[in-house]
Amino acid sequence: EVQLVQSGTEVKKPGESLKISCKGSGYIFSTYWIAWMRQMPGKGLEWMGIIYPGDSDTRYSPSFQGQVTISADKSINTAYLQWSSLKASDTAMYYCARRGYCSSASCHRNIGSLFWFDPWGQGTLVTVSS
Amino acid sequence: QSVLTQPPSVSAAPGQKVTISCSGSSSNIGNNYVSWYQQLPGTAPKLLFYENNKRPSGIPDRFSASKSGTSATLGITGLQTGDEADYYCGTWDNSLNEGVFGGGTKLTVL
């Protein structure tokens, strides 16, 4: 079974750093892009960025560029999302999700050509409060 | 304000049919594939459709999806109480150079 399992709930103070994880299993982790999405309380989904664990090629939404860092360690089938200095406005549920498989080189690096995600991790709730 | 526009809510009785619209522009839906997701209360989103109208295995054929021009539509027939969820459309925006989702539509089965 293809599965993404995320790390647990985090409660942090403003200014603290944080790194959450997303571990894949049931498939060759290094051959699928992994995306991160944010869902603020009571709100919709926002696409944050995406990484290819095979070579760590990473793309960010302009809205999140410079605000977070996405990374991956293919040796342990894990992707990460990290903050260096959290703000109260970072309070949200964060989901990782696997991008659909690209069989061609043109599709592989062109994120927009194949923009769908399955499966999703169970989510990591991050609460930032003083 | 989401780039893709969905109605905030829709409702219908059990057994009835409902449609959910997703309106965009030439920079997103007009030139890219659309996907749809179901988010049951307290759970992670689940893929319902990819590439406009392709249904992953395990998704009942009560669910349908289509795209025309700069809009997409999700349809659900034979509504069940278990279909109560938030539904999201998603695609890539060539002008913004990022992925975009609709604001979500809450389905209530009365």
Instruction: Tell me if chain A has a CB within 8 Å of the CB of B101.
Output: yes
User: Rounded distance, CA B9 to CA A16, Å?
Assistant: 37
Angle, alpha carbons A127-B3-B8 (nearest 5°): 70
* N-term to C-term CA, chain A: 40
User: Rounded distance, CA B43 to CA A121, Å?
Assistant: 10
Over the stretch B16-39, which tens digit does the pLDDT of each residue have?
Answer: 999 999 999 999 999 999 999 999
Measuring CA to CA, how many Å separate A58 from each of A25, A49, A81, B92? 21, 7, 12, 16
Average pLDDT, chain B: 97
User: Rounded distance, CA A7 to CA B73, Å?
Assistant: 34
Query: Which pLDDT score, from 0 to 100, does residue B58 have?
Result: 95
Chain B: residue whose CA lies nearest to A101: B50
- Contacts (Cβ under 8 Å, ≥6 apart) of A53: A29, A30, A32, A34, A72, A73, A74, A77, A79
- Contacts (Cβ under 8 Å, ≥6 apart) of A27: A2, A98
Pairing mode of beta strands A78-83, A92-99:
unpaired
Cβ contacts (< 8 Å) between A112 and chain B: which residues? 32, 92-94, 99
Does residue B68 carry a pLDDT above 90? yes
pLDDT in tens, chain A (130 residues): 999 999 999 999 999 999 999 999 999 999 999 999 999 999 999 999 999 999 999 999 999 999 999 999 999 999 999 999 999 999 999 999 999 988 888 888 888 889 999 999 999 999 999 9
Does residue B99 carry a pLDDT above 90? yes
Query: Which pLDDT score, from 0 to 100, does residue B1 have?
Result: 81
Angle, alpha carbons A73-A78-A45 (nearest 5°): 120
Contact A62 B98 (CB under 8 A): yes
Longest dimension (CA), chain A: 48
Residues in A 42-81 with any Cβ partner in B closer than 8 A: 44-47, 61-63
Nearest CA-CA partner of A117 in B92, B101, B47: B47
Cβ contacts (< 8 Å) between B33 and chain A: which residues? 114-116
Give the DSSP per-residue string, B62-80: TEEEEEETTEEEEEE-S--
Query: Which pLDDT score, from 0 to 100, does residue A104 have?
Result: 83
Does residue B91 carry a pLDDT above 90? yes
Measuring CA to CA, how many Å separate B95 from each of A61, A120, B91? 12, 26, 12
